[in-house]
Amino acid sequence: MKTIIAACSQNLSGSRASIQTALRTLLAVPWPSQRDVRSALQLLAVLQWVLSFLLLGTVSLLLLIYLLFTSLWLIPVLYLAWIICDWDTPEKGGRRLPCLRRWTVWKHFRDYFPVKLVKTHDLSPSHNYIIGSHPHGILCVGAFCNFITGSTGFEELFPGIRSFLTTLAGNFRLPVFREYLMSGGLCPVTRRAIGYLLSQKGTGNAVAIVIGGAAESLSCRPGVTTLILKNRKGFVRMALRHGAFLVPSFSFGENDLFRQVVFEEGSWMRSVQRRFQKMMGFAPCLFYGRGLTSGQSRGLLPYSRPITTVVGEPVAVPKVENPSRELVDRYHELYIHALLKLFNENKTKYGLSESDELHIL
């Protein structure tokens, strides 16, 4: 009996010693600093955004199709019925949720790069505006962060102005993803949707349009400031029809977030990209950024590079129901002049040299 008690005592002593050793080892491990925690939160905020835009629509569609063949078939049926009843909502102002725009996640998203919004002139709430957003980049990070989230203080810088951002109409045909987009204030880049915001919701509305679109994303790479704008005049015609002032904006650093394999004009891969763009509305780009584990690895996350979006001086536009081609050309030239002025006055402040030029195609 004494032998058993002695053995048990030795085991307890050994276990106690092992636990103490484990605790000492655990306490010796350095705890993550506040900086490490902030960096992790910023990385996760960007990750959820990238995954949402690249996968949410497709995954939701596949999930609903799968549920149709299970005992939960009523869920996709009811949701399909809801979409049919709600089909026109994206083109009638959408369904903004202020709480989602003020989501704390967007502050971590902003700080990852970081993104900054700079105001150069006031915007009066007594007018409506079309904001031209340049350049497109790969994923329009600057436009999204500034005009959809409240993290950079758009509403504080421009009191009385409600900002919206346009995107491909096809995105609003994807289940669940359409709700996600509308909740932030995104709307289809169609005449009907933009016209509704500029005519049916009073004044103080600012509709941001990434004018270069998919074609511009094909030339996106660091150190290149080329815009597709010379023959893009539809936004000017819309502004004239509704008397909306034109406002140029430029996101310095947008093209530095990813690396892209750019195919030369005339190559067969470039022609494939162009054809795909005409059929689907967006261009398939071969790009990469950083990975999840480190900044040196490759993945789909954008690099941490500062983005500064400068909002320029508004160009006053009269209301003309049926503007002539000459009038459209005139205000298109005025807009380009205002954009070039904005770029040249701010380029040296935000990472470019005095010799850098803005090329407009």
Q: Give Cα separations from 329 to 14, 203, 266, 315 (angstroms).
A: 87, 25, 29, 14
d(CA 5, CA 318): 98
The rounded mean pLDDT for the chain is 86
Could you tell me the two tokens for 197? 């915001």
| Better pLDDT: 222 or 180 | 180
Where is average pLDDT lowest: 4-18, 161-175, 187-201, 239-253? Answer: 4-18
Amino acid in position 279: M
pLDDT at 200: 83
Where is average pLDDT lowest: 173-187, 190-204, 212-226? Answer: 212-226
d(CA 209, CA 53): 18
The residues with which 110 forms a beta bridge, in sequence order, are: none
> Does residue 152 contact residue 163 with C-beta atoms inside 8 Å?
no
pLDDT at 4: 43
Average pLDDT over residues 316-320: 96
pLDDT at 262: 63
> Does residue 248 contact residue 312 with C-beta atoms inside 8 Å?
yes
pLDDT at 11: 47
Tens-place pLDDT, residues 138-169: 889 999 999 999 899 999 999 999 999 999 89
pLDDT at 5: 43
pLDDT at 66: 95
Tens-place pLDDT, residues 3-52: 444 444 454 455 566 676 665 664 565 667 888 888 899 999 999 999 99
Count other Cβ atoms within 10 Å, centred on residue 113. 23
> Does residue 130 contact residue 238 with C-beta atoms inside 8 Å?
yes
Average pLDDT over residues 181-196: 93
Count other Cβ atoms within 10 Å, centred on residue 34. 7
> Does residue 258 contact residue 288 with C-beta atoms inside 8 Å?
yes
Ranges of each domain in the chain: 35-360
Where is average pLDDT lowest: 79-93, 280-294, 322-336? Answer: 280-294
